[in-house]
Amino acid sequence: MITVVHYINQFFAGIGGEEKAGAPFEIRDGPVGPGRALQMILDDQALITHTLVCGDNQFHDNRDDVLDQLRQAIGDLKPDLLVAGPAFNAGRYGLACGAVCVLARDTFDVPAITGLFPESPGAEVFHDRVVIVPTGSSAAEMKTALDDIGRIGLKLAHGQPLGPAEEEGILPQGFRGNWVEAPMPAERAVAMLVSKLRSTPVPTEIPLPAAGETVPPAVEVPRLANATLALVTEGGLVPEGNPDGIESSSATRWACYPLADLEKDGGARFKSIHAGYDARWVNQDPNRLVPLDAARALVAAGEIGEVHDQFYVTVGTGTSVTNASRIGAEIAAQLINEGVHAAIVTST
Amino acid sequence: MLITAMTSMAKTAGAVRILPNGKIPHPVGDPTRSPEEELAWRQDVLRKAIQALEAKIEEATIFS
């Protein structure tokens, strides 16, 4: 028999509302509150052996102590599945449910599931680490939420792998799985085209990330003739041997190299390791990517104050938006730190 | 500011000061020119880049 431990807050345990949010952690035998309805859904396939209860304020005000108590309890009970909530759109409760699920899975390898409103704080924080069933915003949706939690929870308890989030009915966790899909891509592409020609909906196989935030323009540089300019590129130009191990694709790293090195032997010691463009012209003359010769000439002509003595480089092909944003922020922070006023970025 | 031949992608990705230039594999290079001509051409490209850096703008702008 699959054993289940259920986490709920003081409200759903029938202790009380906001005035009882300081209720201490306790362990009760069997299902409590929504756990009774969940037990009916699980029927004879699983048994809720215990219910863990903690007040919403107690959880957050004494987080470390409560997590210790939870660790002790889950470790002792060793259930096949941990269910938390559902917490719907509740802030503190939803965050607690997420934390309990992380604890169960990461510390004890116990599969865990909760139900949260997709825009709730708990879903925001834990969506990439916890199996979350999307619910309505209030407990009026309890029955549907428990049906989903029961169905998917049993899969988890049996160690069955979950399919794509949309098919399973969980919130996307942000990673991709690999499998062979039939029919073959050409047939799917033609089917999509036919659907499009018929003006019927064409669901994409690769949803694009939500549109990025709009970046407000940086304040203009009053006079480049008085400014320090840095040269930056995503074109993968590195010293031979790629000493910093910048990835040719899907980069996670960036580096900076002295312009003096780049100028030696006409740049012959530098090569592009970027896997996303034909680098032969850049390898012939790196100034075609990092316009150092022209920048030096404009410094000599008094049109640019000075050129910062290192150039900055990463690889921008297949690079995740998350990594690209981080790399950009890290390079920008270092440029500011080194007194650079302006940057020219070249992108292939 | 950003110099690229992939203008529309730069705009989609959220770049703000964009100068369309060159070709995808050599945004500040023109292998069809002699080395001296190419350097002079590249200086002109940087002069346009300087104008972009000195320009007061309110929203994403494609310079020329």
Q: What is the pLDDT of residue A211?
A: 60
Tokens 């209860």 sit on residue:
A53
DSSP state string for A256-291: EEEHHHHHGGGGTTEEE--TTS-THHHHH-GGGTS-
Q: Which residue of B has its CA nearest to A303?
A: B47
User: Per residue in A256-277, pLDDT tens?
Assistant: 999 999 999 989 999 999 999 9
Interface contact flag, B58 A217, Cβ < 8 Å: yes
Single-letter amino acid code for the residue at A126: F
Q: State percent of chain B over pLDDT 90.
A: 86
Q: Is B36 on the interface with A (CB under 8 A)?
A: no
Cα torsion angle, A139, A145, A149, A150, sign: positive
- Retrieve residue A221's tokens: 């540089």
What does the pLDDT read at residue A126?
Answer: 95
Q: What percent of chain A has pLDDT over 90?
A: 87
Task: For residue A213, give the chain B residue with the closest CA.
Answer: B14
Contact list, B57 vs chain A (CB under 8 Å): 217, 220
DSSP state of A318: S
In angstroms, rounded to a whole number, what is the distance separating the alpha carbons of residues A182 and A305? Answer: 60
Cα–Cα distance, A13 to A26 (Å, whole number): 11
Q: What percent of chain A has pLDDT over 70?
A: 98
Question: d(Cα A23, Cα A57) in Å, to the nearest integer?
Answer: 8
B17 and A CB contact within 8 Å: yes
pTM: 0.60
Judged by a CB distance cut-off of 8 A, whether residue B55 touches chain A is yes
Mean pLDDT value across chain A: 94
pLDDT value at A299 more than 80: yes
Report the candidate in A242, A256, A225 with the shortest Cα–Cα distance to residue A327: A256
**A134 to A88, A147, A159, A346: CA distances (angstroms):** 8, 12, 21, 42
Look at A214 and B14 and tell me if their CB atoms are within 8 Å.
yes
Give the span between the Cα atoms of A201 and A279, in whole angstroms.
40
Interfacial A residues in 111-150 facing B (CB < 8 Å):
none
Nearest residue of A to residue B32, measured between CA atoms: A281
Tens-digit pLDDT profile for residues A159-182: 999 988 988 999 999 887 788 888
Q: To the nearest whole angstrom, how far is the Cα of B9 from the nearest Cα of chain A?
A: 10
Please give the full DSSP string across A76-104, using - where no structure is assigned: HH--SEEEEEEEET-HHHHHHHHHHHHHH
For the cut 90, the answer to whether the pLDDT of residue A221 exceeds it is: yes
Cα–Cα distance between A282 and B44 in angstroms, integer?
19
Distance between CA B7 and CA B2 in Å, rounded? 9
Query: How far from the centroid of its chain's Cα atoms is residue A222's Cα?
Result: 38
ipTM above 0.85?
A: yes
Pick B2's closest partner by Cβ from A287, A304, A345: A345
Cis peptide before A203 (omega within 30 of 0): no
Q: Are B64 and B48 in contact (CB under 8 A)?
A: yes
Q: CB–CB of A136/A86 below 8 Å?
A: no
Residue A126 CA to residue A116 CA, distance in Å, equals 10
pLDDT of residue A30: 97
Note the pLDDT tens digit of each residue in A75-132: 999 999 999 999 999 999 999 999 999 999 999 999 999 999 998 989 989 999 999 9
